[in-house]
Structure 1
Amino acid sequence: MTTDYSALIDEQTWAFIERTNSFYPPDSTDDSVARQREVYNTMCRAFFSQYPGSVSSTNKFVHTAEQRIPIRVYEKSDSDPEAICLYFHGGGFVVGGLESHDDVCAELCDATGFRIVSVDYRLAPEHLHPAAFLDCLAAFEHVASTCELPIILCGDSAGGNLAAAVTHHVRRHERAPVGQVLIYPGLGGETDQGSYLTHAQAPMLTTRDTLYYAEIRGGGFNWSNDPRFAPLNDKDFNGLPDTIAISAECDPLSDDGRDYCNKISAAGGKALWNNEPGLVHGYLRARHSVDRARASFRRITTAVHLLGQGRWPGQL
């Protein structure tokens, strides 16, 4: 199935795609993991924006019995945080870290006034599933035990998967998250239907890419029935917090956000799905150069802010 992206994607977004591909070609999954990380880090540095003036960050660690997990805590100097937002970065569970989403977290802190905690979870293939999930869960447990503020979970792409997985796991915790915001999340949808077919050859992320990352993360084992790996396949959607999923139209993952929100709504929960017209996977990096991405980032920060205050947006 072929989609005419010339009719969907505007000039600004094409410029963003071309700039990204100049660092990170679409077939880069054929490179070694070390090379993929090198290219991804170079690309992220090229898109890096300076911190807003009132935001600062501190590197810390979450200690578990087995290891220590690096985290970065963002604070806004001129406001007392009303909530704390745990942020899990994207990167297919293979690339990314504290640096790749540093400016995104700083701007999220500035827009909401919340304390933001970015988690440097372990990556595959050195650390297979459920390593990333366990690190994110440990970060949640740390925040829940050391802070009285309401907790929001947020993440993009792979990080959206991890946010949902942790939310499902801790929904009955006494400090359960009050909300979650998932940005173009991959949640374990069927890859032989829907957007996985319609946008199989989408710019920035293909269906082949999603299969590659799932294979690497799972070590070749089929984890599709494990909600820690594929939250969309959980058998229980009761008791989940208010949820907002924001997808990109030109992305094989777009239906995952829709289907996930539909399951929460069917179970009696509150969920809202936005499918951003003409945008592509990874558009957070385009928030300063593409009008559509800038508007979407405002919707994302508004969603985090409202849910952290215990408010429901109705629409974004």
Structure 2
Amino acid sequence: MTDYKTLTDAETWAFIERTNSYYPPDAIDYTIAQQRQTYDRMCREFFAGYPDGVAVETSAIATPTHDIPIRIYRSAQAAVTVLYVHGGGFILGGLDSHDDVCAELCARTGYEVVSVDYRLAPEHLHPAAFDDVKSAFKWAAATRSHPVVLCGDSAGGNLCAAVSHATRGHAKRPVGQVLICPGLGGDRSKGSYLRHAEPPMLTMRDLEFYKHIRTGGQDRNGDPTLAPLADTDFSNLPPTVLITAECDPLSSDGEAYRDRIVAAGGRATWFEEPGLVHGYLRARNTVGRARASFTRITEAVAALGRGEWIP
């Protein structure tokens, strides 16, 4: 049994305990409505406000069947758009859950950031969320004359990668993607899935729950829109930066995805943050390791937007 109090530092452990006080480890046993209420309250408790100089506008993208709510953050006239896709197990989160993260990403890069409020399960099963993020990317590509970078955490990282695979043949495709603790459908019989099956914040039991809810229990094995690592072609993907947490069952997905892209002749780099846990973005203002990682994330987004590569 891993001693996570030893593997993490005191700051990180304090963050874990604070998170658990708002969103308990057994929250997946709640009803979906209760989970959302609890998660939203936790996000409000961690909300850090907007940096100075960030203008925010809430809008929507019209599709033939429904509107996709978005929130646009601007701090300068930089000619790059970051499409941000939030985490939350495909059942939680929205424009408010990652509001301050998007505002800080905007302030640090100077880029326009567009947060996407995709449809959630179980009301909307896969591929609803994927379709919404793909539609949001197409909207950004059509309405912006400048490059678009994809950035997402956890479930959002999965959706960003899936959209990168689906749009790589387009005339205007993402110029880069930054994936933070993404779940990409890796091999659950090895690596971090075994080493960190029961860490704080996210366990294998949680992952099985979210997968079942997202698919309605259907067998979708081999579907790259659900699990990008199930694809058979990793060529022509945008430059990719993967940043994962050591104490997270999903960490090995970052390594595996990097290896597939590099083997196909593409550019990808993976960094595993030592001693951090899933969901650490909310700790970026209180935990030194998380603060350093958020700087790594913003620098990667900024570089990809400029057409530069971070080895």
| TM superposition score normalised by structure 2 | 0.99
Any residues of structure 2 matched to 1:305-316 within 5 Å, and which?
305-314=302-311
Query: 1:202-221 counterparts in 2 under 5 A?
Result: 202-221=199-218
Q: How many residue pairs get matched?
A: 311
| Distance in structure 2 (CA, Å) of the matches to 1:312 and 1:42 | 38
1:87·1:155 contact (CA, 8 Å) conserved in 2?
yes
Equivalents in 1 of 2:10, 2:77: separation in Å?
Answer: 40
- 2:298 maps to 1:301: yes
Distance 1:6 1:24 in 2: 19
Partner of 1:15: 14
Cα deviation digits, residues 248-274 of structure 1 (max 9, x gap): 000000000110011000000000000
* SS at 1:185 equivalent: coil
Question: Structure 1 CA distance, aligned partners of 2:30 and 2:191?
Answer: 28
In the aligned structure 2, how far is the partner of 1:159 from the partner of 1:224?
Answer: 19
* 2:113 corresponds to 1:116: yes
Secondary structure of 1:299's aligned partner? helix
* In 1: Cα distance, 2:4 partner to 2:19 partner: 17
1:188 corresponds to: 185
Deviation of residue 80 (structure 1)?
A: 1.4
Equivalent position of 1:284 in the other structure: 281
The answer as to 2:12 corresponding to 1:24 is: no
Q: Once the two structures are superposed, what CA deviation does each residue of 1:72-106 show, in whole Å capped at 9, x if it has no partner?
A: 01000xx3113100000000000000000000000
- Equivalent residue number for residue 250 of structure 1: 247
Q: Which runs of 5+ in 1 are unaligned?
A: none
CA contact (8 A) 1:55 1:109 kept: yes
| Aligned partner of residue 177 in structure 1, secondary structure | coil
Q: Deviations over 1:29-78 (max 9, x none)?
A: 011000000000000000001101110110111111101000001000xx
Q: Indicate conservation of the 8 Å contact 2:236/2:266, yes or no.
A: yes
2:38 maps to 1:39: yes
Give the distance between the partners of 1:82 and 1:198, measured in 2 at CA: 42
The 4+ residue runs of structure 1 with deviation greater than 6 A are none
AA aligned to 2:51 is P
SS of the residue corresponding to residue 82 of structure 2 reads strand
In the alignment, the residues of structure 2 paired with residue 268 and residue 256 of structure 1 have an alpha-carbon distance, to the nearest angstrom, of 19
Match of 2:57 in 1: 58
Report if aligned partners of 1:88, 1:154 keep a CA contact under 8 Å in 2: yes
Counterpart pick for 1:99 among 93, 96, 100: 96
Q: Distance in 2 between matches of 1:4 and 1:241?
A: 38
Superimposed CA distance per residue, residues 149-204 of structure 1 (whole angstroms, 9 cap, x where no aligned partner): 10100000000000000000001111100100000000011222211111000100
% identity of equivalent residues = 59
Q: Give the superposition deviation at 1:6.
A: 2.5
Instruction: Give the deviation of 1:224 after TM superposition.
Output: 2.6
Alignment match, 1:73: 72
> How many angstroms does 1:243 deviate by?
0.2
TM-score (normalizing by structure 1): 0.97
Is the contact made by 1:188 and 1:224 (CA closer than 8 Å) also made in structure 2?
no
Name the CA distance, whole Å, in 2 between partners of 1:133 and 1:70. 15
What amino acid sits opposite 1:139 in the alignment? Answer: A
Q: Secondary structure at the match of 2:72?
A: strand
